[in-house]
Structure 1
Amino acid sequence: MSSALLNFKSNLSLSISKCSQDFHIASVHKMDSWDEGTDCCKWEGVVCDNKKGNVIGLDLSCSGLHSSLFSLQNLRWLNLAGNYFSNSKIPSEFGKLRSLTYLNLSDTGLTGLVAPEISLLSELVSLDLGLNFLLFRNHDFNMLVHNITKLENMILDVVPYSFLNLTVSLKHLSLSDCYLQGNFPTQVFHLPYLQNIILSSNPNLIGYLPETNWSSPLRLLDVSVTEFSKGLPSSIGNLKYLKTLGLSHCVFTEFIPSALGNLTKLTFLDISDNMFQGQIPDVFGNLNDLSFMDFSSNKFSGVFPPSAFNLTSLTFMDFSSNFLQVQTCLVAEHQDLDLHSNKLNGPIDTIQEPNLVRVVDLSQNEIQGAIPSSFFDLINLTALDLSSNNLSGNMKSCMLVKLRNLWFLDLSFNNLLSLTRCSNDVNSTLPMITQFHFSSCNMQRFPSFLNASKSLELLDLSNNQIHGSITKWEAEGWEGLASLNLSMNFLTSVEQIPGKHLFVLDLRSNSLRGPLPTPPQDLNYFLISNNELVGEIPSKICNLSFLYVLDSSKNKLDGTIPDCIGTFSDQLSVVKLRTLNLNGNQIEGSILQSLTNCYYLEVLDLGNNNINDTFPYWLGTLPNLKVLVLRSNGFHGDIQNFTGTFSFSSLQMIDLSRNEVTGHIPPSYLKI
C-alpha cells in the first residue's frame, strides 16, 4: 500500500495541471509525512483499517489524479475536492474502487460524460460531483440509481434524466444550478428518509409541493429561483423537523396556511418575491427558533401579524413591498427590521429592548405622529430609514447625536418634520455617519452637529428652507464628502464648497448670485441650473479632472463658451464630458469647432441664448451625440451643406426652432 501511495506522491506535480496556489501548498504539506520506511497508516490524509492494515481512506483535496491511485482497491473513503484536472473526464478506472462508500469529486474541473463505471460502486453512501461540467447519458444515470441502492447523499450539477428510480435510502439530494427543466416529479418528496432537498437556481424547473405524503424527516427544503408554483399546502405543517424553508423567487400564489405555525424547528424562512396574497396568519408564536424571516415582495394585505414581533431569536425580518396595515407601528426587538413599502399607519410604539436593534427600515408607509424618544436610545442602531411617511414634530439634534453607531439616516419626505439645534451642538456629532438624508422636510439651516463628522460621504438637504450663504466655517470638516445635494433651497451665495473630493454637487433651484463658483477638481456632476448667476463661464472649468455633466442652464451667464473646452491636453477631463447644458443664459459668439474633441458628448443644449453662427454641421462627427438643442438663437444660413462625413449617427432629438436657418435635415440623419 505504501508503494502505491509513494508512486502517487511522485506523480503529483505531473497530475495537477491547475490548482489554486493556497490549496496546492496545503496538499503538498499534507504529504510531507509520506516517507518510505515509515508506517503509511500514520501519514496525514491516510486512514487504515485497524485490523487488516489496508488503506481505506484518503483525504487529498486539491491533490492529483493518477493511475496509481486506482491500485488502492480497499479504499472506502476518497476526497479529491478542490482539484482542477484540466477539463478531463472521470476515468473509467474508478470502477475498480468497489469498496468506496464516500466519493467527493466536487469542484475538480471534470467535464464530459460521467463514466458508466461509476454505477459499479454499489457500496456508495455519498456521491458528490457538484461544481463540475458533467453530463449523464440517460441509460448511465438509470444504471447509477438502480445499482447504488445504499446512496444517502447525492450532490450533482448535471442533468439527471430520471428521478423515479432514486434509491429509497436517499437522505440528501442537491441539484442546485443544474439547468434542470420540465416538470419535477412530486414523488421525490415522498422518499421516506429524505432529509435535505436542494433544487435552487434552476429557473426553468417547473413543479409544485405535494399535498400529502411528505418525507417526514425533511430538515431542509430549498426550491428558490425555480418555476415552482401553486400554493403552499397545509401538509407543510407535518414537517416537524424542518429547519430551512427557501421558496424565494418562484411563482407561488394563494394564501399562507395556518399550518405554518406547526414548524416549531424552523430557523430560516424565505418566501420572498412570489405572488402569495391575503392575510398572513398570526401563527408565529411557537416559532421560537426562527432567526431569519423574509416575506417581502408579495401581495400580502390586511393586518400585520403581531406575534411576529415577539420572536426572541429573530435577527432579520423583512415584510417590505406588500400591502400590510397596522394601527400602531410596533418596532420589534430584532437586529434587522424591514417593513418598507407597505401601508403601515398610526404612531410608532415605544421600543422595549433598545440594545438589540441594528437596522430599522419603515420607509414608504403612512406612519403618523412624532418619532418616539425611545428611538434615540437605540445605542447599537446602524441604519434608520423612516423616509416617505407622515411623520411630524420637532426633532432635537441633541437627541439624534445619541446614536453614536449610526452610519445611515434617511428621514426625507416627511413634510411636517423639522430638525432644530440644541445649545450644546458645538461639541456634538454623529461620529460614524456616512449618509445623511433629510430632503423635503422643514430644515431651516445647516445641521452644525455634522461639521465634525469625518466619515460623512453623502449629504442630501434638498427641498428644504435653508437660507443665506454656505460659509467657510460650514464647509470645513467634510474631507470625505463625495455627494452634496442642496438643490431647491434659498441659498444666495457660496463662500466655499464643502468637501475637497466631491463627485456630485447639486445646487439647482436656489437664489445663488454672483459668478459661477469653481468646483473641486474631482467633480463628475456639476448641477447649478435655475439660479441667478452672472458673468462669463470661467476657464477654470476646463481644469476639472473627471467632469461628465455640466448644467448651468437658466442663469444669467454671458460671454462666450470658453476656448479651452475641446482644446485640452489628454490629461484634462472635459474630453469625458457627456452633458453640456447652457440653456437659458446670455451666451454670445459662435460654437467652438473644438467641441468635436468631446468624443463622449451625448447632450448639447445651447438653446435660448444669443449665439450667432451658421449651423454647426461638423457636430455630426460626434459618435455619441443624441440630443442637440439650438433653439431661440441667431443661427442662420443654409443647412444643405451636410456631407457623408457628418452623419449624426446617434442623434435622436434635434431642436432648431426660432432661428434663421433654411433648408431641411435629411431624415436619414436621425436615429430613432
Structure 2
Amino acid sequence: MSSRRPQLHFILLLLTYYCPIRIAANGGNGTRVQCLPDQASSLLQLKHSFHNTNLSTWQQGSDCCHWEGVGCDRDSGQVITLDLSDRNLRSFRGLSPALFNLTSLTSLSLSGNDFGHINLPNFGFERLVQLLSLDLSDTSLAGQIPGLFATFSFLRYIDLWGNNFEGKLPTKIFQLENLIYLDFSYNPSLFVQLPNFSPGNHLESLDLWKTNCSGVIPDSFFDRFYPMCAGDIPKCLFNLPNLEGLSLHSNQLSGHLEDISAPLSSHFTSIWLSSNQLSGHIPKSFFQLTKIEVIWLHPNKLEGTIELSLLSGLKYLSMLSLSDNMLSVIDGEYLFPTLPNMQDLHLASCNLTKIPNMLRRQYEMEDVDLSSNNIDGVIPCWLWENGKNSMRFNLSHNMFASRNYSNNSFSSITPAVDIHINNSIYLDLSKNKLNGHIPTSLCGANYEMLDLSYNNLTGSVPSCLIQHGNVKMLKLRNNQLNGMLPENIGEGCMLQPIDLNSNQIEGKIPRSLSNCRSLEVLDIGNNHIVDSFPTWLGILSNLRVLILRSNQFHGSIGSPSEGVAARNIFSGMQIIDLASNNFSGSLNSKWFEKLETMMTNSSTEGNALALDNRSSPGNEYYQEILTFKGIEHTFTKILTTFKMIDFSNNAFDGPIPDSVGKLIALHGLNMSHNALTGAIPSKLADLAQLESLDLSQNKLSGMIPQELNMLTYLAVLNLSNNNLSGMIPEGQQFSSFTNSSFEGNEGLCGRPLSKQCNSSGTGTLDSSVSSQDSVGTIVLFVLVGSGFAVGFAAAVVSSVVFQVKRWNCNHFLFYQ
C-alpha cells in the first residue's frame, strides 16, 4: 500500500477538536458484558474474508471484546469500534457483508489494507446508522461513492483518500450537519462539484487534492475553504480577514494575483500557488506581509520585475520560490539585515545576472537554487562561506567562467571549502564555461554529489576525489581532463556512479578501483585508455553499468576461469558497452552464462537506478547516453529492467555462443562490425524482450533461423553484409523489415529483396525478367529470318537462340 502523504495540501483550518469515539481494544475498555455471540460470529466471518490474516487473537470461543482492534460497549456487549488499519490485510472480494452485521459501530477504520480494486457496495452501509467516524483511506476500493452516506446524520469524520473512486460525488455529503472532517483526495476519477454551504455548516477540514473538481465555486465556500479547481483565482481569497494559509498549488488556476489590503495587519503566514497558470505581476503587498513565512509561486506565468530589497522587512520568511516564471529578479547594491529564518531560496530561470548580495548575510540556508540564469564571472568566496549548512546548492546552467580556475578563484576560497562547508552534500556546476584545473580544495568539503559535467576543465582528476572522502556520485563528463586515473584507491571508496565519459584520460584503469565496493555505474567511454579487458571488475557485485566504448582496449574479454574463477563475475550487469575498441579473439560461452541479471525477466516495470543516499534532497537518478536501436539516446533514468550488450566495432571472431540465448531479458544486442563466423544461433529466438538486433558487417553464414520470427518486440534488425544464404523468414516481425536489413548477402532470397527464391529455397530470377528474355528471343528470330533463307535460318537460329538465351541470363545476373 502507498504511504500517506506527509501533509494535507488542501486544508484551510486545522481540525481543532475531534471527540474520541473509539473504545480501547484488547480489553482495555473495562468490558462488563462479554461479546455477544452474533457479534463474534460476524467478526470471524470478516477475518476469513481476508487472504493473509494475522489477527492472532481472533479465536473461536474467546471474548471478542478482547480481540485486537475491537472495542465493545460495556453494558450491551455490542461491538462499537473496529480499527484494523495498516495490518496489510488483503481481500479480493471487497468488503465482507458480515461487516454490516455490526450495527452498533460508531467508528470504523480499515485504512491501509487492500480490497483488490473492488467497488464499494451499494447496500450494507445503511445498517450502520450510528457511525460517527469512517476511515477507508488507501484501501484500493473503487466504484461510486453511495449516496446513502449523505443520510448518516451523526457522521463527523469521513476519510476516503487514495482510492479509485469514480463518478460524481453526492453533493449532499457536504451538507451533513455534524461533519467536521472530509477527505476525498487522490481519487483522480472522482468528479466533485461544490454546493452552497449553509451558515450552520460545521465542516472545518476539506481535502479535494487530485480529484476532478469543476464547476462554479459558490461564494459561501470561501467563508470556510478554498478549492482545488480550475478557472480564475477568486479575488475574495486575498482579503478574507482571518485567513492564515492559502494552498492552491498544482491546479489549473489562471488570472492575476490580487493586492492584499492592509498587509501589515494581515494574518497570512503562507501562500502556496505553485504549478498553476497564473499571470500578471506579483503584488508588492505580498512582500509587505509582516507574518509571512512561505511564498511559493513556481512555476507559473508571472511577469515583471522583482527587487530583492523588498524582502528586507520579512523577518519570518523561511521559504521563497519565484523560479520558472517570466520574472526578472534584480539584486540591490546595498546589504539589508539578515533574514534569520530564511532556509530555502529558489530563483531558477529568473534572469539573474549576478549572485544576489542578500546571500552575503544568510548563514543558515539549506536549499539554494540559482540555476538556469545568466550569472557569469567568478564564484565569490563568501558564497562558499555562507553555504556551510546548505544541503543543496544549485548553480548549474549559468555562464561561470574563470581563467586559471585553480590558481585564482578556488585557491582563494580553499580555507572556506576546507573548514566551513562540512555539511553541504550537493554541488552542481554542470553546463557552465568553467576552465582550468579542478581544485583539490573540493576534497576538503563534505560533498556526496559532485557534478562538474559539460565544462572546459583540464588537468587530471584529483586523486582525493576517488581515493578517499565522502563523494558518492562523481560526474565529470564532457570536459578536457587528461592524464591517468589515480592509483591507490582505498577501501573507504564510497563511489556509486563514476562518469568520466568524453575526456582525454590515458593509461590504464587502476586495479584498486575494485575497492569501490558500492560502484554501480562506471562510464569511461570516449577517452584514450589503453588496457586489456578489466575482468577483475567482475567481483563488484553492485556493478550494473559498464561503458568502455571508444577507447583503445585490446585483447580478449577472457573467460570466467581467468583470474576470478571462484567468483560470480559480472552477475549484476545490465548494460555492457565495449563498442569501438580493439578487442579480439573468440567469445567464450561461459562468459555470458555469468550474466545472471540478464537471464531473469521482471514482472514489474522496475526501479530507476539512483543514488543510495538518505540525505539527498531528492532522487538523484543516474543518467547515461547510450546507443540503442542505432541511435544515440539520452536516458534520464535507467530502469533496472533495461538490459543491453554492445560489442560492435571490434575484432571479435569465431561463432556467436549459444549461451547468448540465455540472456532472455536483453532489449538490445549489437555485435556488428566484427569478424564473427558460423551460423546465427537459433537460441537467439529465446530473447523474447529483444527490441534491437544488429549482427551486420561480420562473416556469418548459413540460413537465418526461422525461429527469429518469434521475436515479437523486435523493431530493428540488421543482418546486412554477411555471407548468409537461403530464404528470409516470412511473416510476423520480418514483414516489417526493409532491404537494408539483409543487403550484402548474395545468397539470400525472398522478401523484401527483389531476388525471389525457387522451390529449393535458393535464388532464382524474377518471373518478369524471364518473360522479357523470351520476347527478346522471338524478336531476334524474326529479324534473322527476314534476311536469310528459311531453311538456313532454321538451322542457324536454333543454335543462336540457345547461346543468346544463355548470354542474356548471365548478363542480367552479372549486373544484378
Do Structure 1 and Structure 2 share a fold, with TM-score over 0.5? Answer: yes
Partner of 2:478: 413
Match in the other structure for 1:466: 529
Contact 2:295 2:320 in 1 (8 A): yes
Corresponding residue of 1:335? 391
Match of residue 536, structure 1, among 647, 655, 658:
655
Deviations 1:575-624, CA, capped at 9 Å, x for gaps: 43332212222333443333323333222212233x25356262655477
Contact preservation (8 Å) 2:259, 2:285: yes
Q: Which structure has more helix as a fraction of its residues?
A: 2
Q: Does the CA-based 8 Å contact 1:284-1:308 persist in structure 2? A: no
Deviations 1:307-339 (A, max 9, x none): 336533322223333333342264422111222
Match of 2:261 among 213, 219, 229: 213
After the TM superposition, which residues 242-641 of structure 1 pair with which residues of structure 2 at under 5 Å, given as runs?
Answer: 242-258=292-308, 259-277=310-328, 279=330, 286-296=338-348, 298=349, 300-308=351-359, 311-328=362-379, 330-331=383-384, 332-333=387-388, 334-346=390-402, 347=405, 348=410, 349-350=413-414, 351=417, 352-379=419-446, 381-398=447-464, 400-403=466-469, 405-422=470-487, 425=488, 428-444=490-506, 445-470=508-533, 472=535, 474-496=536-558, 499-516=570-587, 519-521=591-593, 522=595, 523=598, 524-555=643-674, 557-562=675-680, 565-567=681-683, 573-609=686-722, 611=723, 613=725, 616=728, 618=730, 621-622=733-734, 628-635=740-747
1:359 CA displacement: 1.6
Aligned in 2, Cα 1:516/1:137: closer, same or farther, shift over 3 Å? closer
Output one character per residue of 1:287-318: Cα deviation in whole Å (capped at 9) or x when no partner. Answer: 3323333333x352411224336533322223
8 Å CA contact 1:119–1:147 kept in 2: the answer is no
Between the aligned partners of 1:67 and 1:528, the Cα distance in structure 2 is 67
Change (3 A) 1:151 1:353: same
Task: Map Cα deviations across residues 97-124 of structure 1 (whole Å, 9 max, x no partner).
Answer: 6xx9x75555396974545485474x98
> Number of residue pairs matched?
599
Opposite residue 400 of structure 1, the aligned amino acid is: I
Counterpart-to-counterpart distance in 2, 1:640 and 1:149: 74
Alignment correspondent of 1:241: 291
**In structure 2, do the counterparts of structure 1 residues 429 and 368 end up closer, same or farther at CA, with 3 Å as the change threshold?**
farther
Given that residues 431 and 453 in structure 1 are in contact (C-alpha distance below 8 angstroms), is that contact kept between their aligned partners in structure 2?
Answer: yes
Q: CA deviation at 1:193?
A: 0.9
Q: Percent identity?
A: 22
For the Cα contact (< 8 Å) 2:669–2:693, is it kept in 1?
Answer: yes
Match of 1:222 among 272, 290, 314: 272
The aligned counterpart of 1:645 is: none
- Taking a change above 3 Å as real, the CA distance of residues 82 and 344 of structure 1, as seen in their structure-2 partners, is farther
Q: What RMSD, in angstroms, separates the aligned Cα atoms of the two structures?
A: 4.6
SS, match of residue 286 in structure 2: helix
Deviation at 1:410, TM superposition (A): 0.9
Hey, what's the Cα distance between the residues in 2 that align with 1:20 and 1:544?
36
Cα shift at 1:484: 0.4
8 Å CA contact 1:508–1:529 kept in 2: the answer is: yes
Matched position secondary structure for 2:236: helix
Residue 35 of structure 1 corresponds to 74
Match of 1:255, SS state, is: strand
Shift of the 15–313 alpha-carbon distance from structure 1 to 2, 3 Å rule, reads: farther
Identify if the C-alpha distance between structure 1 residues 120 and 394 changes in structure 2 by more than 3 Å, giving closer, same or farther: closer
Q: Distance in 1 between matches of 2:727 and 2:267?
A: 79
CA displacement 1:523-564 (0-9 Å, x = unmatched)? 432212222333333444334343332212222x143333xx
Cα deviation, 1:401-432, whole Å, max 9, x if unaligned, reads 231x332111121213545435xx16x14433
Change (3 A) 1:626 1:357: farther
> Helix, strand or coil: the match of 1:475?
helix
SS at match of 2:450: strand
Is 2:301 the counterpart of 1:185? Answer: no
Normalised by the size of structure 2, how large is the TM-score?
0.63
SS in 1 for 2:532: strand
With the length of structure 1 as denominator, give the TM-score of the two structures.
Answer: 0.75
Separation (CA, whole Å) in 2 of partners of 1:599 and 1:327: 56
Check conservation: 2:644, 2:669, Cα contact below 8 A: yes
Q: 1:613 to 1:236 in 2, by over 3 A?
A: same
CA distance in 1, matches of 2:696, 2:721: 6
**Inter-partner Cα distance in structure 2 for 1:128 and 1:275:** 35
1:670 corresponding residue in structure 2: none
Query: 1:602, 1:627 within 8 Å by CA — same for their partners in 2?
Result: no
CA-to-aligned-CA distance 1:473-521 (integer Å, 9 cap, x gap): x435322211100111111124548623321111111122322455433
**1:461 shift after superposition:** 0.8
- Range 83-92 or range 207-216, more displaced: 83-92
CA contact (8 A) 2:719 2:741 kept: yes
Q: For residues 373 and 4 of structure 1, what CA distance do their matches in structure 2 show?
A: 62
| CA distance in 2: counterparts of 1:456 and 1:160, whole angstroms | 50
- Partner AA of 1:446 in structure 2: I
Cα shift at 1:271: 3.6
Structure 2: which 5+ residue stretches go unaligned?
1-18, 24-34, 58-64, 84-105, 112-119, 560-568, 599-642, 755-762, 769-816
**Residues 532 and 464 (structure 1), Cα distance of their counterparts in 2 relative to 1, 3 Å cut:** same
22 and 368 in structure 1: CA distance in 2 versus 1, 3 angstrom threshold: farther
Q: Deviations over 1:329-382 (max 9, x none)?
A: 644221112222222222444324132111222111112232222211224x32
Amino acid at match of 1:618: E
User: Are the equivalent residues in 2 in contact too, given 1:639–1:662 (CA < 8 A)?
Assistant: no
Distance of 1:117 and 1:441 partners within structure 2? 64
- Which residue in 2 is equivalent to 1:654? none
The structural deviation recorded for 1:440 is 2.0
**Are residues 183 and 284 of structure 1, via their aligned partners in 2, closer, same or farther at CA, if it must alter by over 3 Å?**
farther
Amino acid at match of 2:666: L
Q: 1:532 to 1:246 in 2, by over 3 A?
A: same
Q: CA deviation at 1:441?
A: 2.4
CA change 1:418–1:221 in 2 (3 A) is farther
Q: 1:271 to 1:34 in 2, by over 3 A?
A: farther
Q: Report the counterpart of residue 668 of structure 1 in structure 2.
A: none
Look up the match of 1:653.
none
Alpha-carbon deviations, 1:67-86, whole Å to 9, x = none?
Answer: 798779xxxxx654446798
Q: Flag the 1:494–1:20 CA change in 2: closer, same or farther, 3 A.
A: same
Distance 1:201 1:25 in 2: 44
